[in-house]
Amino acid sequence: MIRALITGLAMLTAAPAAAQCRQALALGLDVSGSVDRTEYRLQLDGLAGALRHPEVVEALLSLPDHPVHVAIYEWSGPGDQRLLIPWRAITDRATLDGIAATLMTAQRIYMDPSTALGTAKRFGQALLEQKPACWRRTLDLSGDGTSNTGPLPRDVRLGGTITVNALVIGSDDAPAGDARQTDIAALSSYFRAWVIEGPNAFVETALGFADYERAMVRKLKRELQGLSLATSPAPPTIRTGDAKPAPYPRIAARSQ
């Protein structure tokens, strides 16, 4: 019996430990009617470039045995969200290159042109609830205007364990009659008061979509910095019988 116990312990010791998720990062991209075709490409290609920036790559791959998990979606009106990248563990450069390639070849589909920031938060929350064991859970929302439909974003509270950050995008020389919020300072104040929440939440700004990639690099570095085995909280204990993570949120299926 003792020999069998020793053999069993040896097998447990030799077995590789399952990789623990150190951070779940869901990125929501604004594709409402205020975002034109050129700006759509600047946003998706900018995120692809940011994910391949050397300092971002270094941060993402710094603890390969405790990877960051990334999911990316588009949002506009209350009934329109599209999951572009389901959850992927970032364990190597090839995974990042695959995500970037998907973003750079994605084609825009028709969506309600309104801006439902509250619903965008709920969609991100549903994604993050699939990752209860991650040490940190972060929702990263990009937007170029205020919410004008659906639940008010300040009424959608995600709880104390999820951080919601924002990347506010100023207008690129908006033409006369453009109804978008063009004062980036006022728009940043709106996102700070109505959208972001949770531990160490912050607002980053891009001076137009042409500046989106540089702003996203700054944002990702800030979101990923300082998270190490020495500073991270212990992963939560999941008991047998706990509720299973929610299924993926609905994905818009309409096309242009």
pLDDT tens sequence across 190-212: 999 999 999 999 999 998 999 99
Q: How far is CA 249 from CA 118, 131, 172, 229, 244, in A?
A: 15, 14, 32, 31, 14
The tens digit of pLDDT for each residue in 101-117 reads: 999 999 999 999 999 99
Instruction: Give the CATH number of domain 19-224.
Output: 3.40.50.410
The tens digit of pLDDT for each residue in 47-85 reads: 999 999 999 999 999 998 999 999 999 999 999 999 999
Q: How far is CA 27 from CA 17, 40, 213, in A?
A: 28, 15, 14
Q: Is the pLDDT of residue 254 over 70?
A: no
Identify the bridge partners of residue 204 per DSSP, sorted by sequence position: 167
Model confidence pTM above 0.85: no
Give the least confident one: 16-30, 91-105, 117-131: 16-30
Q: How far is CA 109 from CA 20, 37, 103, 230, 245, in A?
A: 35, 11, 14, 44, 28
Residue 196 near residue 165 (C-beta atoms within 8 A): yes
Percentage, residues of the chain above pLDDT 70: 77
| pLDDT for res 175 | 52
Helix (H, G, I), strand (E, B) or coil at 109: coil
Residue 198 near residue 107 (C-beta atoms within 8 A): no
Q: Is the pLDDT of residue 30 over 70?
A: yes
Domain boundaries, the chain: 19-224
Residues 6+ apart with CB under 8 A from 231: none
CA gap 144, 123 in Å, rounded:
18
